[in-house]
Amino acid sequence: MAFIVFKNVRKEYVREVRVLAVDKCSFEIEKGELVVVLGQSGAGKTTILNMLGGMDFSTSGHIIVDGKRIDQMKKKELVSYRRHDIGFVFQFYNLIPNLTALENVELACELCSNALDPKVVLKQVGLEKRMNNFPAQLSGGEQQRVAIARAIAKNPKILLCDEPTGALDSKTGQKVIELLEDTCRNMGITTVVITHNAMIAEIADKVIHIKNGTVDHVELHSNPKKAKDMVW
């Protein structure tokens, strides 16, 4: 069985009106793959990512990660799943403003027993000189690197990135994508990137196209482009 399996997953929001966000969604991701989930705004990409990351419950269907049924986990188990297996990167970085870059990474490391050395990870993302700066003193790209370092340092099984370049200019964005690519290739962490930018899709092993809350088609690249060769 594949490392990540989505089988007939459905997600309904029942508020004032019933909204079907995701329906009949099925795909598989292998261990160590770099996957891009591509789709227009409102297609349901983030919902899929949230369910995969254990931040939201699915309405029905199977979500299996490393042989475990995520869709059947209770709230408490989900916390532990997020804590040990998942690393998150957001569009707006979400660093803790009152902690330095290093401390932001340390904060995550405190949570897991097999965490990586925060200083080494920051060096790896190229921030060894800005370690003791606070987020407000860093540029957007640098902040996103700290966020990635924070996610990697937990030594997760899966790295989930929600529009990681959404708030960055193209050049900085490219650097961030390069970093994600390196992380996936060198450390072997399964990486899922959500984006509406088709350019980024070119570097993925697998591109999952989402339309109207369901998988439109899956595109495989046997020979993906390198991030640094991308033309924005």
Partner 1 sequence: MLNFIPILKKRKIWCGDKMLFKNTLRKIKRSFGRYASLIVIVFIGTAIFTSLQLCTPNIKEVQQDYYDDTKLMDLKINGTLGLTDKDVSELKKLDQVDRVVGSYSKEVLDNNHTMKVHAIEDDVNRFDLVDGKMPMNDEECLADASYYQVGDIITITEPNHENDLKTHRFKVTGTIYSPLYTGTNYGSSRIGDGTLYSYMFVLKDTFQYDVYTEIYVTLKQSSDDMIYSSNYKDNIEQLTKEIEKVSEKAEKRRYDELTEDMVLQLEQLKQANQMMPNPIYQQNIETLESAIDQVGESKWHIFDRYDSVISYKILEMQYDEVQILANIVPFFFFIVVLLMTSNTMTRMITEERSEMGAMTSIGISNRRIINHYVIYILSSTVVGTLLGFLFGNYVLTPLFYSCFPVHMPEMHSTFHFGLFIILLIFVQALMMTVTIYSCLKLFRQSPANLLRPPAPKSGKKIILEKIHILWNHLSFSWKITIRNIFRYKKRVFMTLVGTAGCTFLILIGFGIQDSIEGVGKKQYTDVLRYENMIVLKNNISDISNSLDAVLKDQVKDPLLLNQTHFKVHTTTDDMDAYVIVPKEDDSNFYKYFAIKSNQDGKTKKLNNNQVYVTTQIARRCDIEAGDKITLEDSDGNTYQVVVGDIIENYVSNYIYMNRFLYENTMKEEWTGNMIVSQNDHSKKQIANHLLDSGEVLSVQFADDLLEDVNGGISGLENVIVVLILIASLLAFSVLYNLTSINISERIREISTLKVLGYTDLETRRYIYRETLIMVVFGIALGLFLTPFAHHYIVNLLQNDETLLLEQIELSSYIYASLITFIFAVIMQYVTHFKLRKVDMIEALKSVD
User: Under 8 Å CB-to-CB from 46, ≥6 apart: which residues?
Assistant: 162, 194
Q: Which is nearer to partner 1, 167 or 230 (CB)?
A: 167
Min dist CB 171 to partner 1, Å, is 22
| Residue 187: how many other CB atoms lie within 10 Å | 14
CA distances from 195 to 13, 32, 68, 115, 231 (A): 22, 19, 26, 28, 16
**Sites of contact with partner 1 (CB under 8 A):** 46, 50, 53, 55-56, 76, 79-84, 86, 88, 90, 92, 94-100, 103, 106-108, 110-111, 134-137, 150, 154
Rounded Cα distance between 205 and 148, Å, is: 20
Rounded Cα distance between 150 and 87, Å, is: 8
User: Under 8 Å CB-to-CB from 222, ≥6 apart: which residues?
Assistant: none
Q: Which is nearer to partner 1, 50 or 183 (CB)?
A: 50
Q: Which is nearer to partner 1, 64 or 108 (CB)?
A: 108
Q: Which is nearer to partner 1, 138 or 179 (CB)?
A: 138
Q: Which is nearer to partner 1, 133 or 214 (CB)?
A: 133
Min dist CB 81 to partner 1, Å, is 8
Min dist CB 94 to partner 1, Å, is 4
Min dist CB 1 to partner 1, Å, is 25
Rounded Cα distance between 127 and 113, Å, is: 24
Min dist CB 158 to partner 1, Å, is 13
Rounded Cα distance between 137 and 142, Å, is: 10
